[in-house]
């Protein structure tokens, strides 16, 4: 190795220190970039979780709406069954009333026939008594 004067040595030391500072600045920029990448990565994961949660919320809402529609269909079926049942009940009730009216008419006719027979019997008895008197 040769001899270097103080000024050259100082300049070489300054250049070496400047290169070290530049390397340290470069490392700091790399660390900042890594931190930025990690932050963006976290935000991206958060965004993905939010999107997934929104999709799940939408699916849940659709399931709830389908459940409500099914509930409404069941109510309508029950209501329809109840209306049919009520209609059949009223029809049966009307039929029962008609049968009762028919039986009452038949009973009235039978009583009238009995009255007529009784009247005929009374007339025959009266006629026999009248013949016996003559």
pLDDT, tens digit, 9 for 90 and up, residues 45-96: 999 999 999 999 999 999 999 999 999 999 998 888 888 888 888 888 888 8
Question: Which tokens go with 32?
Answer: 């900042």
Helix then strand then coil, % of the chain, to nearest 5: 95, 0, 5
pLDDT of amino acid 84: 84
pLDDT of amino acid 53: 96
What secondary structure letter does DSSP report for 12?
H
Any idea where the domains of the chain sit in the sequence?
Answer: 1-96
Sign of CA dihedral 43, 44, 47, 52: negative
How far is CA 76 from its chain centroid? 13
pLDDT of amino acid 59: 97
For the chain, give the mean pLDDT: 93
pTM: 0.45
Q: CA-CA distance, 99 to 90, in Å (whole number)?
A: 14
């Amino acid at each position: 190795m040769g001899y270097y004067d103080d000024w050259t040595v100082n300049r070489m030391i300054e250049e070496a220190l400047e290169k070290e500072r530049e390397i340290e600045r470069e490392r700091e920029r790399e660390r900042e970039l890594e931190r930025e990448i990690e932050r963006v990565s976290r935000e991206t994961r958060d965004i993905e979780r939010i999107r997934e949660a929104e999709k799940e919320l939408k699916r849940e809402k659709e399931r709830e709406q389908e459940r409500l529609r099914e509930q409404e269909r069941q109510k309508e079926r029950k209501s329809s069954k109840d209306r049919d049942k009520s209609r059949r009940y009223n029809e049966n009730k009307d039929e029962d009333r008609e049968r009762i009216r028919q039986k009452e008419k038949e009973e009235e006719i039978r009583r009238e026939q009995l009255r007529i027979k009784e009247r005929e019997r009374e007339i025959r008895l009266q006629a026999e008594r009248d013949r016996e008197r003559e």
